[in-house]
Structure 1
Amino acid sequence: MKPTCGKGPLHGTPPATLAELDDALVDCHACPRLVAWREQVAREKRAAFRDEEYWGRPVPGFGPADASLLIVGLAPAAHGGNRTGRMFTGDRSGDVLYAALYDAGLASQPTATHIGDGLELFGTRITSPVHCAPPANRPTVVERDTCRHWLEQELDLLSPTLRSVVVLGGFGWQALLPVLSAAGWTIPVPRPKFGHGAHVLLAATEAREHPLHLFGCYHVSQQNTFTGRLTKEMVTEVLRDAARAASLPLPG
């Protein structure tokens, strides 16, 4: 039996716009473990947020529909995106990422607290291979693969303008490469390995008119940032490199 995803692409015509894709995505109930967890977290809440209404649904991508730079994470945080309804918003990982995006000239402000806080991304969109918060921040391979069609269609809709991708962490790297290959970009052989600062140019094909720059960056998890393995400056440097590859304007 195929998983059910509400009014999503598994049922009929694929969405024609990112707005349609996002509307379909938030109704997805395809992964029972993730549905149960995201809703449990939304009911029980963290004490610091007990007076807030949690989003408790799949979290769509964030950023303009004509983005030339895409950032690919892992999955929403239980009390971050699963609470606020926006990628990397309201948690420590987002504190680092959005501060780096601001320093790179890709965000209107260095903080992200809630939808409606005035945050705007410039030429940049943020998404993830898994759109529901997973227990212990660890989606299963089956959950990753079940969620894959959302990423495939997001990439297809972005492809006319997309020139550069930054992948945060090895999970996203492994999830994205086969999706890029299926979408028509050429993946080098042997398959490129993830690493911080890795840069791979995926050649254009008949299916994809423009080449795509792929960059690796350690994930902005607390484990990485609290230990000093990853700093805001390191993230900013990768973002600037990716922005240049995407021909986005950088601050002087």
Structure 2
Amino acid sequence: MDTRGLARLDRRVAGCRACPRLVAWREEVARTKRAAFADWTYWGRPVPGFGPPDARLLIIGLAPAAHGGNRTGRMFTGDRSGDVLYQALYEVGLASQPTSVHADDGLELYGVRVTSPVHCAPPANRPTPGERDTCRPWLVQELRLLRPTLRAAVVLGAFGWQAALPAFAEAGWSVPRPRPAFAHGARVPLDGPHDGPHDGSQDRLDLFGCFHVSQRNTFTGRLTPEMLREVLRTAAEAAGL
């Protein structure tokens, strides 16, 4: 594992200013704040991934929330989507605590890293395809650094799925053609890169689809806590956790 490489990548991600619309939005939100967080100093920058550098399981979301990750500086921290995700991770034994309020609250993830294909909070939680594509090289570099240990990934939602498949391909995994469609519970095996002394099977990765932990999905019951835990348990087993 390349611990220093991943730390360097996280610092570079946090300094990115490539998308003018996203830069303007995240910084405006950080200035104006939400009344409930008036005393907070918002992060207001791109939010890097979070979790150990030798992660065997990667969770890929969509983008940070304006008053969640954009406020705290940690993926899925400080909003209701994060509450659902970290509760489930805790319940299946992959996190040290069921909640995450800020970046210094002591939360540890066990063998899991959390990231997203877009690292800045977008207006209306909707990055454009162009912003997704501009941000993709960060995900590709992250995948390459995690490649020695990574054995499974859970992608939350169709947007993340569409962004992740080309990123995995660019990072060296073999993605089926035509590209598999997103579905909750989907499981797609990706053979690893063939650039080493083996046939790539040692780096095989299982890619799982899961409905996003958005309030729209969790409030309506489209995604229940039981459904989320089942996907996470299956993915953790595939990752050898």
Does residue 141 of the first structure (1) align with residue 129 of the second (2)?
yes
How big is the alpha-carbon RMSD for the aligned residues of Structure 1 and Structure 2?
A: 1.1
Does residue 179 of the first structure (1) align with residue 167 of the second (2)?
yes
Residue of structure 2 in register with 1:228 after alignment: 221
Query: What letter matches 1:133 in structure 2?
Result: A
Distance in 1, Cα, partners of 2:226 & 2:101: 21
Distance in 1, Cα, partners of 2:27 & 2:108: 28
Residue of structure 1 in register with 2:119 after alignment: 131
Structure 2 unaligned runs (5+)?
none
Residue of structure 1 in register with 2:50 after alignment: 62
Secondary structure at 1:147's aligned position in 2? helix
Higher helix proportion: 2
Query: What's the % identity of the aligned pairs?
Result: 71
5 Å-filtered alignment, 1:37-116, equals 37-116=25-104
Distance in 1, Cα, partners of 2:223 & 2:76: 17
Deviations 1:143-202 (A, max 9, x none): 111111100100000000000000000001000101111222111222111011100111
> In 1, are the aligned partners of 2:141 and 2:171 still within 8 Å (CA)?
no
Query: What letter matches 2:35 in structure 1?
Result: A
Residue of structure 2 in register with 1:241 after alignment: 234
Residue of structure 2 in register with 1:18 after alignment: 6
Distance in 2, Cα, partners of 1:104 & 1:29: 37
Distance in 1, Cα, partners of 2:97 & 2:227: 19
Deviations 1:223-251 (A, max 9, x none): 00011111111111100000000000xxx
Please state how far the C-alpha of 1:16 moved relative to its aligned partner. Answer: 5.8
Secondary structure at 2:48's aligned position in 1? coil
Please state how far the C-alpha of 1:76 moved relative to its aligned partner. Answer: 0.1
Secondary structure at 2:65's aligned position in 1? coil
Query: What letter matches 1:191 in structure 2?
Result: R
Distance in 1, Cα, partners of 2:4 & 2:30: 31
Query: What letter matches 1:206 in structure 2?
Result: H
4+ residue stretches of structure 1 with deviation over 2 A?
Answer: none
Query: What letter matches 1:146 in structure 2?
Result: T
Structure 1 unaligned runs (5+)?
1-14
Aligned length: 234
5 Å-filtered alignment, 1:140-219, equals 140-207=128-195, 208=200, 209-219=202-212
Distance in 2, Cα, partners of 1:230 & 1:201: 23
